Structure 1
């Protein structure tokens, strides 16, 4: 059985400029589990020797193994390894674990100091049960992804609001 290919796309509208969004999403210590409900570390970050101490090189030398808990009562463990980093706008990454493939996050400015973040995944499940269920459950898996991403967007908005000086938003 050929695993089902999922093209999953999300757009987040965020109340902060791209540089502020970038500072959180491209944190070399991977702060996602601190602000994203349903996301936790599956293992400590692994890091190979980076070419330099720049954020881009440190990110490309880092692999995060994360658990994402879906509302359908399953947890996916996904590794994320940046392959291309262009601050403060673009990260390409390889995904592994329960979903294998590629992804991209692009941050762009919107009016009035706001940002748009586009997230795309092109992945295939590696778990047998997901591959067996995909022909009939693909819409449910896509809905679970959409809800999990919405939780991430809300969490990132909260994290950004905590960083904003009083009287701004």
Structure 2
């Protein structure tokens, strides 16, 4: 059985200029076990430097892999690796995902004015790698999508709070 492909999209509205949003999103001060600004998300493992960035001016983002653990409202956790493949500060970030969800993702920041706010469009195109998720996907896909939407709303709220406090 081929694992189901999930094409998940979200749009966040954030109360800050794109440059400030970018700075929070790309902060590499990640320590295992510590929470990040996203409620229900912790750092799962040390940041791995996979080599020098292959994109000039990309702040070295394409030379790292981050590992995050998301705790879902349904009681299970997903550990996902994020390896940036394209970085265009402060506008666009594309990445490969691995771990419990494999595929690709991307973020596009669009300023709504010179000093904010900013719209952040997020896209995940992923397949679960956990056997139980793949077995349940034919009937549980709507539940997985709803859990994702809940997690994303919490992320938007957490990032807005971090931007307000920063």
TM-score by shorter chain over 0.5: yes
Of 68, 84, 97, the match for 1:66: 68
> How far did residue 56 of structure 1 move?
1.6
Gap regions ≥5 residues in structure 1 = 164-169
Aligned to 1:16: 16
Aligned to 1:101: 103
| RMSD of equivalent CA atoms | 2.0
Aligned-partner Cα distance in 2 for 1:142–1:93: 20
Deviations 1:116-145 (A, max 9, x none): 000000000001000000000000000000
> How far did residue 30 of structure 1 move?
4.8
State the TM-score, normalizing by the size of structure 1: 0.90
> How far did residue 55 of structure 1 move?
6.3
Query: Are 2:101 and 1:113 aligned?
Result: no
Aligned to 1:152: 155
Aligned-partner Cα distance in 1 for 2:83–2:35: 16
Query: Are 2:89 and 1:87 aligned?
Result: yes
State the TM-score, normalizing by the size of structure 2: 0.92
Aligned to 1:125: 128
Aligned-partner Cα distance in 2 for 1:142–1:157: 22
> How far did residue 51 of structure 1 move?
4.5
Aligned-partner Cα distance in 2 for 1:141–1:133: 10
* Runs of 4+ in structure 1 over 2 Å off: 28-34
**Residues 28, 58 of structure 1: 8 Å contact kept:** no
How many pairs align?
A: 163
Aligned-partner Cα distance in 1 for 2:23–2:146: 29
**Residues 84, 93 of structure 2: 8 Å contact kept:** yes
Q: Secondary structure at the match of 1:130?
A: helix
Q: Secondary structure at the match of 2:58?
A: helix
> How far did residue 58 of structure 1 move?
1.6
Structure (1/2) with the larger helix percentage: 1
Of 33, 38, 56, the match for 2:35: 33
Aligned to 2:6: 6
